C-alpha cells in the first residue's frame, strides 16, 4: 500500500542536505562551544555561521537571534520573558483567539500571575482585524502577540499592518512565524515585529530546536538560568547539530520558496476544488490570505477521527479539529473562534502539503475521500441523504 503523508504542518522530514550538514557535529566535532580549545572553536564557528544564516533570512543582526529548544520554548520565552521584563510599565497583553496553544497557555499562565489578557476575535475566515488591535491597545499594554499564519486553517494575518499600529505605542510586538518561516517573507523590518518565533522541524530541519528573534533594545527576562549562553537570554550548552540543521533548513526553504509555493498552491487548489465538489462540504479559512500548502474542510454529518482512521487504513496521514481527536475532547478552538458550530467542527479535515507531495498523491486522495465520506455518512444518524 502506498503511504501518503499530508500532515506537513505537524512536522516535516529532515532534508538530506540538512542532515548532512548536521552529522559532523554529533561525534567528530562534538566540542562544547564555551571552551578555549580547538574543538570549541569549531563548534563556535558553526554556531556563528548558523546565527548569521538565520539573521540574514530575517534581515536581522546575528546578536538578535537566540537559539532555543523549539517553537513552544521560543513562544514562552517571548511572552513570559517580555511580560516579566515590562511588568513595571503595565500588565496588559493582547493576543488572538486562534493562537497556538504555546501562546494561549503562556497567556493563561500570566493571567494567574496578575496580568490581564485580551483575546481578540477573528472573522469567519479566521482573520484578525488590525483595527481591533488598535482599539484594544491601552496605555498599560506591554505586549501584543499575533501569529503570522494559523497552523490549522492556514490564514495569513496582516502582521505588517498590525506591527505598524503597535510601533506607535510602547508595547512590544511578537509573532509566531512557525508556519511561515521558509514559506513567506519573514523579514522583521517588513513585518514590523520585535520578537519572532521559529521552529526547526516545521521547515525540514530537526525537532527540538527553535529560534527567537529579539530586536535590539527589547528586554526579556530569561526563563532558563544557568550560564551566559545566548547573551544570557537562554542558558544551556548549545545544541550545535540542531542549530546547524535549523539554519541550513531555513536557508534552503527560504531560497526555494517561490517555486515551491507555486507548485504547492496549484496542488492545494486542485484539492480544495475537488473536495468542495462533495455535497455538504465547506472550506475553512480565507481563500485569498492562505498558506500555499493548507487545505481545511468540514464534511457535515461525519466526525473527523473516524475519517482519519479510514484514511490511515488507506495509507493517508492527515489531521482533524474534531473533539474526538483532541486529548481534552474539545473541538478546535480555531474553528470555534471562526464561528463554526461544534457538530460541524467535528467533521473537519486538515491536509497540509509539502515537498514530498506529488500530483499523483492529490489524485489518489481525491479518489478516496468522497467514498470515505459517503460511507461514514451512511452510518450517521444526522445524514438524510
309 contacts other proteins (rule: CB under 8 A): yes
277 vs 324 by CB, closer to ligand FES: 324
Count of beta carbons in the 10 Å neighbourhood of residue 329: 9
CB of 192 to other proteins, least distance (A): 41
Count of beta carbons in the 10 Å neighbourhood of residue 36: 7
CB of 309 to ligand FES, least distance (A): 11
Catalytic residue among 262, 324, 378, 379, which?
A: 324
CB of 101 to other proteins, least distance (A): 17
Terminal CA-CA length for the chain: 31
Longest dimension (CA), the chain: 74
Q: Which of 255, 342, 367, 371 is the binder for other proteins (CB under 8 A)?
A: 342
Q: Which stretch binds other proteins (CB under 8 A): 11-19, 127-135, 255-263, 316-324?
A: 316-324
- If 0-12 CB within 10 Å is exposed, 13-18 middle and 19+ buried, where does residue 164 land? middle
Selection from other proteins, ligand FES, none that 286 binds (CB < 5 to 8 A by kind) is none
How many residues bind other proteins (CB under 8 A)? The answer is 22
Selection from ligand FES, other proteins, none that 161 binds (CB < 5 to 8 A by kind) is none
* Cα–Cα nearest to 65, from 180, 211, 229: 211
301 contacts other proteins (rule: CB under 8 A): yes
CB of 280 to ligand FES, least distance (A): 20
Q: Which of 324, 360, 378, 382 is the binder for ligand FES (CB under 6 A)?
A: 324
CB of 306 to ligand FES, least distance (A): 9
323 contacts other proteins (rule: CB under 8 A): yes
Site string for ligand FES, 279-318 (x = CB under 6 A): ----------------------------------------
Selection from ligand FES, other proteins, none that 182 binds (CB < 5 to 8 A by kind) is none
302 contacts other proteins (rule: CB under 8 A): yes
Cell matching residue 61: 543582526
Selection from other proteins, ligand FES, none that 360 binds (CB < 5 to 8 A by kind) is none
346 contacts other proteins (rule: CB under 8 A): yes
298 is catalytic: no
116 vs 343 by CB, closer to other proteins: 343
Give the catalytic positions in this structure. Answer: 324
Kindly list the residues in this chain that would bind other proteins in the complex (CB under 8 A): 301-303, 305-306, 309, 313, 322-325, 327, 329, 331, 342-343, 346, 378-382
Amino acid at each position: 500500500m502506498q503511504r501518503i503523508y499530508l500532515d506537513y504542518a505537524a512536522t516535516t522530514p529532515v532534508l538530506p542536505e540538512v542532515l548532512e550538514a548536521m552529522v559532523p557535529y554529533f561525534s567528530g566535532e562534538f566540542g562544547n562551544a564555551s571552551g578555549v580549545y580547538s574543538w570549541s572553536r569549531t563548534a563556535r564557528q558553526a554556531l556563528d555561521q548558523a546565527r548569521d544564516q538565520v539573521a540574514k533570512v530575517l534581515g536581522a543582526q546575528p546578536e538578535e537571534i537566540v537559539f532555543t529548544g523549539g517553537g513552544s520554548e521560543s513562544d514562552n520565552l517571548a511572552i513570559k520573558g517580555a511580560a516579566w521584563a515590562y511588568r513595571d510599565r503595565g500588565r496588559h497583553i493582547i493576543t488572538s483567539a486562534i493562537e497556538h496553544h504555546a501562546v494561549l497557555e503562556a497567556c493563561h499562565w500570566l493571567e494567574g500571575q496578575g496580568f490581564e489578557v485580551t483575546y481578540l476575535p477573528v472573522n469567519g475566515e479566521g482573520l484578525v482585524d488590525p483595527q481591533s488591535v488598535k482599539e484594544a491597545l491601552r496605555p498599560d499594554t506591554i505586549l501584543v502577540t499575533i501569529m503570522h499564519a494559523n497552523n490549522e486553517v492556514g490564514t495569513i494575518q496582516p502582521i505588517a499592518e498590525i506591527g505598524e499600529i503597535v510601533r506607535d505605542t510602547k508595547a512590544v510586538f511578537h509573532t509566531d512565524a512557525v508556519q511561515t518561516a521558509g514559506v513567506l517573507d519573514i523579514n522583521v523590518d517588513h513585518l514590523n515585529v520585535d520578537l519572532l518565533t521559529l521552529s526547526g522541524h516545521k521547515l525540514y530541519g530537526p525537532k527540538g530546536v527553535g529560534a527567537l528573534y529579539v530586536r535590539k533594545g527589547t528586554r526579556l527576562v530569561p526563563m532558563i538560568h544557568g550560564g551566559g549562553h545566548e547573551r544570557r537570554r537562554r542558558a544551556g550548552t548549545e545544541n550545535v547539530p540542531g542549530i546547524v540543521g535549523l539554519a541550513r533548513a531555513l536557508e534552503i526553504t527560504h531560497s526555494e520558496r517561490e517555486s515551491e509555493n507555486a507548485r504547492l498552491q496549484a496542488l492545494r487548489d486542485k484539492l480544495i476544488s475537488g473536495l468542495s465538489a462533495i455535497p455538504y462540504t465547506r472550506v475553512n479559512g480565507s481563500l485569498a490570505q492562505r498558506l500555499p500548502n493548507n487545505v481545511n474542510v468540514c464534511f457535515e454529518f461525519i466526525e473527523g477521527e473516524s475519517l482519519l482512521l479510514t484514511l490511515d487504513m488507506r495509507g493517508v496521514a492527515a489531521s482533524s479539529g474534531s473533539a474526538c481527536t483532541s486529548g481534552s475532547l474539545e473541538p478546535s478552538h480555531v474553528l470555534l473562534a471562526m464561528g463554526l458550530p461544534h457538530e460541524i467542527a467535528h467533521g473537519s479535515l486538515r491536509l497540509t502539503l509539502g515537498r514530498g507531495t506529488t500530483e499523483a498523491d492529490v489524485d489518489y486522495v481525491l479518489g478516496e475521500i468522497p467514498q470515505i465520506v459517503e460511507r461514514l455518512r451512511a452510518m450517521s444518524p444526522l445524514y438524510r441523504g
